[in-house]
Chain A
Amino acid sequence: MATIDQIQDDIIEEFGIFDQWMDKYEYIIDLGRKLPLIEEQYRHEGNLVPGCQSRVWLHAELEQGRIRFTADSDAIITKGIIALLIRVLSNQPVRQVSGAELYFIDQIGLREHLSSARSNGLVNMVAKIKSTANTLAVMH
């Protein structure tokens, strides 16, 4: 199974082919459309990640030492970025998730989406993934 960094490197390589921002966003939007829907039972208030603009729902569970999460957003670009984060972090060993350095976001030119100034819930989502992984790692 590919490691967090291997997947990040794959994504960076994939995004390398886009020289137009439009193509990049088209791809992200497409990823957002294809992201499997979060199960309705997990799309509740309690799973809503605090954030000002687009709403983000996150559900995480532990399966044999690996954290598995599903998420959703009502904004499609946010959802596309969530799809990338899921690809990188879901099904990874909990301890590695809590300490993961997410360098791919910067490298594919989406840093502004994960800046705290953006207030779109993504920053809080990553924080929540990591803190959940942390909690689960301690319990594990």
Chain B
Amino acid sequence: MDNQQPSRLFDVEQIRKDFPVLGREVNGHPLIYLDSGASSQKPNQVIDRLNRYYRLEHANIHRGVHHLSQQATEAYEQARETVRSFINAKNRHEVLFTKGTTDGINLVASSFGREFLKPGDEVIISTMEHHSNIVPWQIICEQKGAKVRVIPINQHGELIIEEFESMLNQHTRLVAVVHVSNTLGTINPVQDIIRIAHSHDVPVLLDGAQAVPHMHIDVQALDVDFYAFSGHKVFGPTGVGILYGKDSILNDMPPYQGGGDMIERVTFEKTTYNVLPHKFEAGTPNIADGIGLASAIDYYSQFEESEVAAHEQDLLNYATEQLLGIDGLRIIGTAANKASVISFLLADSHPFDVGTILDQLGIAVRTGHHCTQPLMDFYGIQGTARASFAMYNNRDDIDHLVAGINKAASLLL
């Protein structure tokens, strides 16, 4: 079954009906959910799939002789194929199931780092990284006597590519940057980054957590070496994610964790490891959520990418224009190329206060440093309030947000 051909007309009002949570009230108001950057909501199709799996299909997978185990194995491996096709990976074994983006990055930092980092080596990240793409590198670099170097950004929140180019040298072992910034919304020029890094024979890891829900990812076209993302940000379950890696590199990397499934033969003297992808998937995996992720991808793939992107761009443009109309409101992150994420500050009021008042109105935004403290330091701020939009949001949501911020302003300023 080719389930990834767009087959459904993009109609936001119909889409909203697929997401039961959008029909509920919070604090006596209809929920306005503008926190999809933190986690997206789930459509009935995913919820029903999980339900069916647990009710009728569950068994442990791989090596099971009985029917249920074989059926579950097939569904799980089919889910891997769905992901492969979704990101256009060349091979199914290059698609590793993880717990999420953080887990995927830790896998690479730990395994790639253990094998390839030497004292004096360098890993390049950027100022706008999520802590998940900072701390794993700090840990492994500290162990290995290697160094983390940071690509600077400009005030708009854009990477300074010339600086990046000059940072690459014979010590650079890896470039690990975010595809779309969770705090600023900046879409980084990852194609240029990959091209430049490859011209120095340096592999590239992309943190795709915020990119996958908003744009088409083709890992072969990008020629990216590692690509990590989370299921729960792309309408799927929590606790499952994907690490794509080129098999040429994955084959040279040692196992991340030891345990069941990842072995070929165990003796007390010497253990040999299983082939990809199992080498990196120790223990009973998150079967249900892997299958749930595939159903989320099937759901998302019903729609024409360009229509989803156009809708989200419209939301971003409309929200930007409306928010800038509010006295004293400042948008943090004004890159030319942005995904549907807006961080803002309301005059000198604390984002926490703004978020608290919006919550009273049933409007869910995120406040704080968004796990990007070095980025907050760059802007000299403690945090921001952030509204992030998914394909199920509409202009009405933004009108509510603007009214809510105006109410917050009347109370706080």
Q: Which residues does A use to contact B, with CB under 8 Å? A: 21-22, 25-26, 29, 52-55, 74-78, 113, 120
In contact, A78 and B352 (Cβ under 8 angstroms): yes
Would you call B121 an interface residue if the criterion is a C-beta within 8 Å of the partner chain's C-beta atoms? no
Q: Which residues of B contact A78 (CB under 8 A)?
A: 350, 352-353
In contact, A25 and B360 (Cβ under 8 angstroms): yes
In contact, A22 and B350 (Cβ under 8 angstroms): no
Would you call B357 an interface residue if the criterion is a C-beta within 8 Å of the partner chain's C-beta atoms? yes
Roughly how many angstroms separate A95 CA and B83 CA in the complex, as a whole number? 61
In contact, B411 and A74 (Cβ under 8 angstroms): no
Interface of A is mostly: helix
Known: A22-B411, A76-B412. A54 touches B360 (CB 8 A): no
Would you call B133 an interface residue if the criterion is a C-beta within 8 Å of the partner chain's C-beta atoms? no
Would you call B356 an interface residue if the criterion is a C-beta within 8 Å of the partner chain's C-beta atoms? yes
In contact, A76 and B353 (Cβ under 8 angstroms): yes
Would you call B349 an interface residue if the criterion is a C-beta within 8 Å of the partner chain's C-beta atoms? yes
Q: Which residues of A contact B152 (CB under 8 A)?
A: none
Roughly how many angstroms separate A22 CA and B352 CA in the complex, as a whole number? 16
In contact, B368 and A53 (Cβ under 8 angstroms): yes
Roughly how many angstroms separate A18 CA and B27 CA in the complex, as a whole number? 16
Would you call B367 an interface residue if the criterion is a C-beta within 8 Å of the partner chain's C-beta atoms? yes
Roughly how many angstroms separate A113 CA and B355 CA in the complex, as a whole number? 12
Q: Which residues of B contact A120 (CB under 8 A)?
A: 352
In contact, B411 and A29 (Cβ under 8 angstroms): yes
Q: Which residues of B contact A25 (CB under 8 A)?
A: 356-357, 360, 411
Interface of B is mostly: helix
Known: A25-B411, A53-B368. A77 touches B352 (CB 8 A): yes
Q: Which B347-372 residues have a C-beta within 8 angstroms of A?
A: 349-353, 356-357, 360, 367-368
B312 to chain A, nearest CB (A): 28
In contact, B352 and A53 (Cβ under 8 angstroms): yes
Would you call B383 an interface residue if the criterion is a C-beta within 8 Å of the partner chain's C-beta atoms? yes
In-complex Cβ contact of B352 among A21, A26, A29, A75 (8 A): A75
Q: Which residues of A contact B412 (CB under 8 A)?
A: 29, 76
Count of B residues near A, CB < 8 Å? 16
Roughly how many angstroms separate A26 CA and B368 CA in the complex, as a whole number? 22
Would you call B251 an interface residue if the criterion is a C-beta within 8 Å of the partner chain's C-beta atoms? no
In contact, B411 and A53 (Cβ under 8 angstroms): no
B377 to chain A, nearest CB (A): 15
Known: A21-B360, A25-B360, A74-B382. A54 touches B411 (CB 8 A): no
In contact, B353 and A26 (Cβ under 8 angstroms): no
In contact, A77 and B382 (Cβ under 8 angstroms): no
Closest to A76 in B: B353
Known: A25-B360, A29-B412. A53 touches B367 (CB 8 A): yes
Roughly how many angstroms separate A55 CA and B369 CA in the complex, as a whole number? 12
A101 to chain B, nearest CB (A): 25
Roughly how many angstroms separate A21 CA and B362 CA in the complex, as a whole number? 12
Roughly how many angstroms separate A120 CA and B367 CA in the complex, as a whole number? 11
In contact, B352 and A54 (Cβ under 8 angstroms): yes
Known: A25-B411, A26-B411, A53-B367. A74 touches B350 (CB 8 A): yes
In-complex Cβ contact of A54 among B350, B357, B407 (8 A): B350
Q: Which residues of A contact B407 (CB under 8 A)?
A: 22
Q: Which residues of B contact A74 (CB under 8 A)?
A: 350, 382
Q: Which residues of A contact B360 (CB under 8 A)?
A: 21-22, 25
A110 to chain B, nearest CB (A): 10
The residue in A21, A22, A29, A53 that gathers the most chain B C-beta atoms within 10 A of its C-beta is A53
In contact, A55 and B356 (Cβ under 8 angstroms): no
In-complex Cβ contact of A53 among B27, B349, B383 (8 A): B383
Closest to B355 in A: A53
